[in-house]
Amino acid sequence: MELSANPLVLLFVLNFVLLVVGMVLEAIVAILIIAPIVTPAMMAARVVPKQLSLVFVLNLMIGLLTPPIGMSLYMISIVSRESVPLVVRGVAPFYIPLFAALALVTVFPSLSTWLPNLAMR
C-alpha cells in the first residue's frame, strides 16, 4: 500500500512480480507463498477478489510457458521429443493473446466478474 493507493498500479506491479515468480516456481507454491502476503493489501485497495484470482492464474500460467525455467516448456519438450528452443518458437505466437487477455482482465475488472455473475443468477 505504500507504493500506491491506486488499485491499477498495484495490479500492474503484482503482474510483474507474478510473471517473474511464475518463471521459477510452480504455480501452487507461488500461490501459497504470495497470495497471503498480497491479498490483504489488494482488498484494502478495493480490488475485486475474482479479478485478483484471475490475475494470479493468468500470470502464473504465462510464467510456466516463459523461459528460462518455464516448467511447462520442458514437459512439452519431453512429451513431443523436440528441443526446448523449438518448443519456445512454437509457443511464441500464443504470448500475444495471453498478454492481451491479462492486460484486459487487469484494466477492466468487469471482464473477470461477468461470467461468474451470469452463472450465479
The pLDDT of residue 55: 93
Q: What are the structural domain ranges in the chain? A: 7-119
In angstroms, rounded to a whole number, what is the distance separating the alpha carbons of residues 61 and 114?
21
Give pLDDT, residue 5: 75
pLDDT of the chain along its 121 residues, tens only?
Answer: 566 778 889 999 999 999 999 888 888 999 999 999 999 989 998 998 889 999 999 999 998 888 877 788 888 899 999 998 999 999 999 999 999 999 999 999 888 888 777 888 7
Chain center to CA of 66: 12
Contact 84, 73 (CB under 8 A): yes
Helix (H) or strand (E) holding 43, with range, is helix 27-44
Q: d(Cα 22, Cα 98) in Å, to the nearest integer?
A: 14
Q: What integer pLDDT is reported at residue 2 of this predicted model?
A: 67
Give the DSSP letter of residue 115.
H
Please report the pLDDT score of residue 40 as a whole number: 92
What is the rounded distance in angstroms from the CA atom of residue 94 to the CA atom of residue 73? 13
Determine contact, residues 102/66, Cβ cutoff 8 Å.
no
Nearest to 109 by CA among 46, 48, 56: 48
